Structure 1
Amino acid sequence: MSPEPESSQPNLSPPPAVVPPSDELSDRAQDIELAPQGSLSQQALAALASMQGSQPENRIPDIKAVGMTLVAIAIMTIGLVLSNALVAWFGVVLALVLSIAVLLPWLQAVIRELLSRQERSLFVALAGIVAALFGIAELTGINRRLLLWGSQINWEAFGTLAEWIGALGQILIAVLAVFVAWRQYVISKDLTIQQNLLTVQQNLITQQQTIDSYFQGISELVLDDEGLLEDWPQERALAEGRTAAILSSVDRDGKAKILRFLSSSKLLTPLKRDSRLGRAILNGDGGYAEDRVFGVRVIDLGVMLAGADLSSTDLRWTDLSDANLIRVNLSGCDLVRANFARTILADAKFNGADFKGTRLFYGTAETASPRSRTEPPNYKTGEYTGAVIEGADFTNVQRMSESTRYYCCAWGGEKTRATIPGGCSGIPNKLGR
């Protein structure tokens, strides 16, 4: 008889596990690898597992300790009610031990949270020092000697001493209050000085910005599109008005900057003009021709600087001719090559100024004379081209030339002659007073 086919035989082996396709396995593996280890779902599952596994174990000791503590309190209460000291003490000791055992982990956690390891070490070290000092005092008998010495002291006398010490303490408190007030004053003074310095710096910055705007405005006012002077009477009037306004609102250094700018730009110098158009005429060298007799100034200073303080400023090569500088303070100024011809310098101060090359007149010192209201100036001989210097102070003027010294001695008057360096011996007083 032929054997039955294998398919008819009963299959005794366990059914094979359902294996997902290889693509699905790879996708799951990739998802597992890409999932973050600290994802929210994993953390929640881990927390639930730990709670389920640890809570019953942690609750059992806590419940036992609480129960035993309550039993100890009950024993202590029964002992106190029955006046049984042994039972009461047993309950007290048991309650205390159990309570400490429960509180000890919490106290340890609090200490670790509040104090670092170094701070705990320092606390223990201080406690050790205090214990060691107490032990030394006990072993050497110093504490007993101190008690014996204290028993022999007349404490009534110390009452008066305490009153003196209290009075001295009040005096020290008053001295301390005075010291604190003085320090507050010093600090307030320093802060005020710093605030003033900041204010001065801010004012300087603001002033410089104002001066820059003035320079730009004057340039746009008197120059045409090609950069040449084309100043009409109305434009010159506006330029003089702007100059008068800004000279009255800036300090001496600002005034010196403006004067140097105007002088270097030939705006203070009388320029040769076209008789028909009135425009300034070039001299062929890239500048404007100077005409002292018939020239016209773009800006005439007039009395803008009368009585002004220009001390210790730089006025080199500035043209201040024909200006009214009565009572002006030019002490310590650098006046090298400055032009003061026909300038009113009555009662002016030149103490310590540098007078090298400073012009006070044209022509020669022997023939030069101060300006006149009625007579026209003669720039060849120097007649009526000189500055009015009556009453001026030339004390300690530096590098004054001999011709300038002669003119100052001749036309300065007795008050001025007494201040001129080198004296005025042999030079006549042409002013007559």
Structure 2
Amino acid sequence: MERRFYLRQIDSSNPWLVFTAVGVMVIGLLSNWLWLGLSGTLVTLLLSLKIILPSVKEWLSTFLTAQERKTLIGFIAFAIAIAGLFKFLGVYALVGYWLNQIKWDEFGSWADWVGALGQIMIAVLAVYVAWEQYVISRDLTIQQNRITQQQTIDTYFQGISELALNEEGLLEDWPQERSIAEGRTAAILSSVDAGGKAKILRFLSQSRLLTPLRRDGRLGRPIFDGTGGYQEDRLSGVRVIDLGVMLAGTDLHTMDLRWTDLSEANMVRANLQGCDLVRANLARTILVDANLKNADLKGTILFYGSFDAASPRVKNQRPDYRTGEFTGAVVEDVDFTNVKRMSEEQRYYCCSWCGEKARGTIPGGCDGIPNRLNR
């Protein structure tokens, strides 16, 4: 009978085989038998690598692309090459010689150095934690201030509405009520930031509280226009709130002031840089030394009547809204650098009345347009 012998394939990743190799290594270490311990150590190392390498290869294939694997291999090879280059150039020998020349006793013990470094790191960590706490506290303070400001503005809106409207919701303002409304407005405009000022101005403008309204000659009440609103009277109308000098020198840069009625306001040295002034009414507004850099002037009303006949407001001179005489904004020394969408009529008016200093800032130049300000 023919006998057949089969070789059984041994699984190198079998845990029992690994444990056996570890046991041989431990016995060799305990018995101080060099060859037994060394053999067990080498077998354990080879078996562990046999188990670990496939997993490492799979991880690299999963999380790194082919190009990234090549880059990693190249980086490792580069580091090894640099290390070998330093060896052949004698860099390590020079460093060792330099270290041997240092009198380490003069520097104290390594423990002192480590302790000092630890204290420095603790101080740096404390400064970092304190800075983070400051940033968080600052952000919370800013957020709380915004909430408080919005609550203040909402209270102002409610107070002005109750002051100017009767029980039926109709506008019924008397001289004393208008004075109180102006006082409240002046107080809140001086206590809020640029965003809060813009919100207030948009509210007052859209509510027509800044627009001069036609009044009943005896009762002083505003007159309806027959289409659901109040009649506007630029010549002799009365505003519920007259801004006066409330906006002089104010900072409103980059704010949204579209369709706001700022006519006849005193905005000397106001910062309107980057503002959206689309369809805003600036007729008879005093803009001396104002900053209008990068502002959007599309449809902005700077005057009434014809652009070549319009002229800036003059104290004690009655404006003529038909011809435009004395209806224009006072634009002397205004900075018009890079203003957007300025019409030809606006450019002609501004070139005529802004003065020699400001003419150089108007986009498109002022060639052929006379300086009617004469200074």
State the TM-score, normalizing by the size of structure 1. Answer: 0.64
Query: Counterparts of 1:194-209 in structure 2 under 5 Å?
Result: 194-209=136-151
Asked whether 1:170 is paired with 2:64, we answer no
For the structure 1 residues 232 and 333, does the alpha-carbon distance in structure 2 shift closer, same or farther, using more than 3 Å as the test?
A: same
User: Pick from 23, 29, 41: which aligns with 1:135?
Assistant: 29
Query: Counterparts of 1:18-417 in structure 2 under 5 Å?
Result: 132=26, 135-136=29-30, 138-140=32-34, 163=105, 166-417=108-359
For the structure 1 residues 223 and 133, does the alpha-carbon distance in structure 2 shift closer, same or farther, using more than 3 Å as the test?
A: farther
Structure number, greater radius of gyration? 1
Distance 2:110 2:358 in 1: 68
For the structure 1 residues 412 and 427, does the alpha-carbon distance in structure 2 shift closer, same or farther, using more than 3 Å as the test?
A: same
Give the AA of the match of 1:283.
D
Task: Please give the root-mean-square deviation of Cα atoms over the aligned residues, in Å.
Answer: 2.5
Distance 1:168 1:411 in 2: 79
Distance 1:327 1:162 in 2: 68
Paired residues in the alignment total 291
Q: Is the 8 A contact 2:262 2:282 kept in 1?
A: yes
For the structure 1 residues 320 and 138, does the alpha-carbon distance in structure 2 shift closer, same or farther, using more than 3 Å as the test?
A: same
Q: CA deviation at 1:357?
A: 0.4
State the TM-score, normalizing by the size of structure 2. Answer: 0.73
For the structure 1 residues 378 and 137, does the alpha-carbon distance in structure 2 shift closer, same or farther, using more than 3 Å as the test?
A: farther
Secondary structure of residue in 2 paired with 1:184: helix
For the structure 1 residues 139 and 190, does the alpha-carbon distance in structure 2 shift closer, same or farther, using more than 3 Å as the test?
A: same
Give the AA of the match of 2:34.
T
Distance 2:214 2:129 in 1: 62
1:120 counterpart residue number? none
Q: Which has the higher helix share?
A: 1
1:423 counterpart residue number? 365
Q: CA deviation at 1:178?
A: 2.1
Determine which structure has greater relative contact order: mean sequence separation of CA pairs < 8 Å that are 6+ residues apart, divided by chain length.
2
Give the AA of the match of 1:192.
Y
Q: Is the 8 A contact 2:244 2:265 kept in 1?
A: yes
Give the AA of the match of 1:338.
A
Distance 1:224 1:415 in 2: 50
Q: CA deviation at 1:162?
A: 8.1
Distance 1:414 1:183 in 2: 59
Consecutive unaligned residues of structure 1, counting only runs of 5 or more, are: 1-124, 142-157
Distance 2:31 2:339 in 1: 86
Consecutive unaligned residues of structure 2, counting only runs of 5 or more, are: 1-18, 36-99
For the structure 1 residues 138 and 418, does the alpha-carbon distance in structure 2 shift closer, same or farther, using more than 3 Å as the test?
A: same
Distance 1:403 1:410 in 2: 11
Identity %: 61
Give the AA of the match of 1:238.
I
Q: Is the 8 A contact 2:297 2:340 kept in 1?
A: yes
For the structure 1 residues 209 and 163, does the alpha-carbon distance in structure 2 shift closer, same or farther, using more than 3 Å as the test?
A: same
**What per-residue deviation string (whole Å, max 9, x for no partner) do you get for residues 176-205 of structure 1?**
322222222122112211111111111111
Distance 2:28 2:160 in 1: 91
Q: CA deviation at 1:415?
A: 1.4
Secondary structure of residue in 2 paired with 1:429: coil
Secondary structure of residue in 1 paired with 2:32: helix
For the structure 1 residues 133 and 292, does the alpha-carbon distance in structure 2 shift closer, same or farther, using more than 3 Å as the test?
A: farther
Distance 2:318 2:114 in 1: 83
Q: CA deviation at 1:374?
A: 2.4
Q: CA deviation at 1:365?
A: 1.2
Q: Is the 8 A contact 2:313 2:329 kept in 1?
A: yes
Distance 1:394 1:174 in 2: 60
Q: CA deviation at 1:138?
A: 2.5
Give the AA of the match of 1:301.
L
Q: CA deviation at 1:137?
A: 7.4
